[in-house]
Chains A and B, each alone.
Chain A
Amino acid sequence: MKKVMIGNHAVSWGVLRSRVEVISAYPITPQTQIVEALSDMVADGSLPARYIKVESEHSAMAACIGASVTGTRTFTATSSQGLALMHEMLHWAAGGRHPVVMANVNRAMAPGWNIWTDQNDSLSQRDTGWIQLYCETNQEVFDTTIQAFKLAETVDLPVMLLLDAFFLSHTSEPVDVTDQADVDRFLSRREAAYKMDTKDPHAFGALVRPDVYTEIRWQQQEAMDEARDVFRRVEDDWEAITGRRYGAVEAYRTEDADLLLVTSGTITSTARHVVDERRAGGDKVGLIKVKMFRPFPTDELRALLGGVDRVAVLDRNISPGHGGIFAEEIRSALYDVPPEDRPILFGYVLGLGGRDVTPVVIDDIIENTRTKARPEREDLWVGVEL
């Protein structure tokens, strides 16, 4: 069934199809439509779930964790300041191995107050232990929402799926809504290995001494490692049913390329267009889309970027005092590539707070990357006018 819908409702439909049992959320622009639609679905009975209203995002995540520990499938959505307010609970969800799925609509952090897109909200939560999946289209949002539950519940880690404010959240696209029966074949009821049982009560998240704490963290890291493979299998299963797959990393027209753009989110679509035009003009330029940020697809990126002359990473985010966050992570990954195969990496910072990244901007970046011998600095800010 194809429906035209905004990205936010693609999330809602994914949640509906995933037969989520508990939803707890607090409204925030530009996320609110996700949970509005879900509350309607719960109210009219089409989604037989418990919708818990709360007074803050911190409480929303706490409620999801509480529900998850009883073995239920849980979901929440937030954005920007709301995600920041959840910070403590994000650690709790991941450390407690609760497979909560959350949609975060990427919105710039205040101040200055801003409701438009960039990735600093979610990238600030890099080290909380959540799997992060960045989406490019509404179809991908729908598909990834359903995949996220299977991934999360297989490795017992929480998953954050990300979509750009307005460019996806409020933009309508046709979405092929997979039939419930097909989704049911893909995603069965959650079976939790550890769950709260009032007849045999145990403490969850209780004191862990130094002699055990490291071992628990190690197992969390093993689960993150495992998540790379599990995601591949999840995509296999989904592709078998729907014919669609995206990959943790996607290589677009990378054959023979001597220059590769690296993007995430909706900038990718614009970059595809520029790559097509350049290719038509004989320019050997390609594109790498990074969907999975945690666990970081180190091996894939080394394989794809190693041996290429030049790489331009487009970061819609900034780690102040360092640089674009994807660029820094990729630089780190390429350290183990033999020096002769190591590309020259240009890290561009652009599109902050929702500023448009147009084909012309990307074209200029390609031009800059081709013509400069080396980048003047690790963070190359695009379009700054003072």
Chain B
Amino acid sequence: MSERDVTRPRESGRQIPPVAISETSTLVNQTGSWKYIMPRYQDGVAPCNAGCPVGIDIEGYMYLIGRGRLQDAADLLVRENPMPAVTGRVCHHPCEDSCNRASMDEAVAIHSVERRLGDMILAAPPPPAPERTRTETVAVIGSGPAGLSCACFLARFGYGVTVFEAAPEAGGMLRLGIPEYRLPRAILDRQIERIEAEGIEIRISTCIGTDVPWAVLNGFGAVFVAPGAHMGKDSRIEGAEGLPEIRPGLDFLKEVNAGGRPDLGDHVIVVGGGNTAMDCARSALRLGADATVLYRRTPREMPAIPQEARETKEEGVEFEFLATPTAVELEDGEFVGITCQRMELGPPDDSGRRRPVPIEGDVFSMKADTVLTAIGEDCDLSFLPDEVRTNWGLVEVEALGESTSAPVFAGGDAVDMPRSVADALGAGKRAAIGIDHFLRQKAGEDVGEVPLDDLRFAGGNVSAMRYAKDEDPIPREAPVNDVVTWDQMNPHHYRSAPRHEDHFHAGIDLRSAFGETNFGLSRKEAIEEAERCLNCGVCNRCELCLIFCPDMAISRREDGGFEIDMRYCKGCGLCAAECPRGAIVMTREGI
């Protein structure tokens, strides 16, 4: 065979594999040297946490439920909210309004999950009372949500706390103002018992300024004032004075909520568009009357929680919008109804809502046996010493409840507009932090300033756990205190799932039925609902970064988190782009 036989394969001794495979390990190619930006795990704050007036790590307890750690979730919840069984039922849940999931399908039913955890907590025996580590004691005026919240957190901070309550039972507006069908008394009683078990003394039927003088508080290191707003505003209906048929709605609610069953006649008109008005109308229905809500603006401007308004309507309450009562109508000296002025919406007022203005000459009559006025409540602050400055019927306070006169702090409906259970709980927590800080400073401790911004959930309310530097049960990667918005997340990895709606009674005759109407979610449904949580901004170990990294530069750490081998991360940003939760950011830092 010729040496020049070019078609004969020759043995050259070269070792050529059948496939194009690199001779050397690719480990020598440290692709990390290519990068000009690099990823960093960075947990942010979910918008629900920032939107909660109480300051609850909602995303945190959802995370724990998602891992089957229900008890840990309940513990985390109650660390920031002493009465979840109550708020799970009556809170207007602004957390859900800020839920990122609404941009995808529907917001997580946070209140339903909270309620379920709250009931779970109530079913278990209370934990031992926190240790008394401080010598000082604190007085709290009012056992509503603000007072009990402040008392509870102060007890956890190690203080002795005495709560003064004017009424014969604790609970404040939760008991007096909120009807049983929304908040069963058994739930409220157990919730308060549980808070008392944290080592709080509640002195009932003890009204400061009436039963005992303000001076009785002198022995306490600090005073938290949370008396609530109990005086119905004057209805200004001409001729109403002295007529028993026209009465403040709040008084009516207090009577009913204390077990009274007044006879309202057949036709009841409720004046106002807030939650008190809704509660009045629904309670009137349960006493056998027909109820009509008379509101001077339109449904759009109603201050009532939309869900409450919807339930009110569903129960059969009529609504008369753009009308206001002007005078009583009498026949033979007997009350028969009211004269109403038709209104229209004019330019917006200070609150941004369009102001109702009368339509000249458009007047009509409405028959009624009883008129309940629910156009707002005022506070009775007459018991306060002069040094505690008030303004337009509200106590003037700083961020942590400090009044103009130390050591008096204040919160709840006596300071807050708008008024809600959640805002009251949040104010109580802030004041507890303010009082602890004040008393420590007074005791000569070097406590510096309260890092208020750091304690807040991204501008929301403060975290008691952050203040007390409690251990976070959720591992956080380089947390920052910024809200993670929907546009920072990657929606493509989420599957649409419908929201679980609370179960409502069906077919029960409402007349004389004051039982709870909303049955919430089953345990299974609540867990499924919690699993709808997207864990915005927080790494929940979904492992997509690990799967998507084209350089296999991401690996699991022993503690369950991830680490990035920067020798091979070439800064492509796929992990950050794919992260469903926006928990990875690309940065130039460290390059």
A, B bound: yes
Q: Is A181 an interface residue (CB 8 A)?
A: no
Number of interface residues of B (CB under 8 A): 14
Task: Tell me the A271-302 residues at the B interface (CB within 8 Å).
Answer: none
Let me know if A206 and B20 touch, CB within 8 A: yes
Partner among B21, B25, B27 whose Cβ is within 8 Å of the Cβ of A204: B21
Known: A198-B552, A201-B26, A218-B9. A206 touches B21 (CB 8 A): yes
Chain B 1-34, CB-CB to A under 8 Å as 1, else 0, gives 0000000010000101111111011110000000
Q: Which residue of A lies closest to B19 (CB)?
A: A97
Partner among A194, A198, A218 whose Cβ is within 8 Å of the Cβ of B19: A194
Chain A residues whose CB sits within 8 angstroms of the CB of B26 once the complex forms: 201-203
CA distance A203 to B26 in the complex (A): 6
Chain A residues whose CB sits within 8 angstroms of the CB of B19 once the complex forms: 96-97, 156, 194, 204-205, 216
Q: Is A220 an interface residue (CB 8 A)?
A: yes
Let me know if B18 and A216 touch, CB within 8 A: yes
Partner among B18, B21, B552 whose Cβ is within 8 Å of the Cβ of A156: B18
Q: Is A208 an interface residue (CB 8 A)?
A: yes
CA distance A193 to B27 in the complex (A): 21
Task: Tell me the A81-137 residues at the B interface (CB within 8 Å).
Answer: 95-97
Q: Is A215 an interface residue (CB 8 A)?
A: yes
CA distance A218 to B12 in the complex (A): 15
Q: Is A200 an interface residue (CB 8 A)?
A: yes
Partner among A200, A208, A218 whose Cβ is within 8 Å of the Cβ of B20: A208
Chain B residues whose CB sits within 8 angstroms of the CB of A218 once the complex forms: 9
Chain A residues whose CB sits within 8 angstroms of the CB of B21 once the complex forms: 194, 202-204, 206
Let me know if B25 and A200 touch, CB within 8 A: yes
Total number of residue pairs linking A and B with CB closer than 8 Å: 48
Let me know if A206 and B16 touch, CB within 8 A: no
Chain A residues whose CB sits within 8 angstroms of the CB of B22 once the complex forms: 202-204, 206
CA distance A90 to B383 in the complex (A): 87
Q: Is A219 an interface residue (CB 8 A)?
A: yes
Let me know if A216 and B552 touch, CB within 8 A: no
CA distance A95 to B24 in the complex (A): 20
CA distance A215 to B25 in the complex (A): 22
Q: Which residue of B lies closest to A215 (CB)?
A: B16
Nearest chain B CB to A91 CB, angstrom units = 12
CA distance A218 to B18 in the complex (A): 9
Task: Tell me the A57-98 residues at the B interface (CB within 8 Å).
Answer: 95-97
Q: Is A386 an interface residue (CB 8 A)?
A: no
Chain B residues whose CB sits within 8 angstroms of the CB of A361 once the complex forms: none
CA distance A56 to B21 in the complex (A): 27
CA distance A218 to B14 in the complex (A): 14
Q: Is A223 an interface residue (CB 8 A)?
A: yes
Task: Tell me the A145-201 residues at the B interface (CB within 8 Å).
Answer: 156, 194, 198, 200-201
Chain A residues whose CB sits within 8 angstroms of the CB of B24 once the complex forms: 202
Known: A200-B25, A203-B26, A218-B9. A223 touches B18 (CB 8 A): yes
Let me know if B20 and A205 touch, CB within 8 A: yes
Chain A residues whose CB sits within 8 angstroms of the CB of B14 once the complex forms: 215
Let me know if A96 and B20 touch, CB within 8 A: yes
Chain B residues whose CB sits within 8 angstroms of the CB of A205 once the complex forms: 19-20
Partner among A200, A201, A212 whose Cβ is within 8 Å of the Cβ of B16: A212
Let me know if B27 and A201 touch, CB within 8 A: yes
Q: Which residue of A lies closest to B24 (CB)?
A: A202
Q: Which residue of A lies closest to B551 (CB)?
A: A201
Q: Which residue of B lies closest to A220 (CB)?
A: B18
CA distance A206 to B25 in the complex (A): 12
Nearest chain B CB to A67 CB, angstrom units = 14
CA distance A219 to B9 in the complex (A): 11
Chain B residues whose CB sits within 8 angstroms of the CB of A97 once the complex forms: 18-19
Nearest chain B CB to A96 CB, angstrom units = 6
Chain A residues whose CB sits within 8 angstroms of the CB of B25 once the complex forms: 200-202
Q: List 15 A-B contacts (CB under 8 A).
A: A97-B18, A97-B19, A198-B552, A202-B21, A202-B26, A203-B21, A203-B22, A204-B19, A204-B22, A215-B16, A216-B18, A216-B20, A218-B9, A219-B16, A219-B18
Chain B residues in contact with chain A, CB under 8 A?
9, 14, 16-22, 24-27, 552
Chain A residues in contact with chain B, CB under 8 A?
95-97, 156, 194, 198, 200-208, 212, 215-216, 218-220, 223
Give me the 6 closest cross-chain CB pairs, A-B, nearest first.
Answer: A203-B22, A219-B18, A201-B26, A97-B19, A202-B22, A215-B16
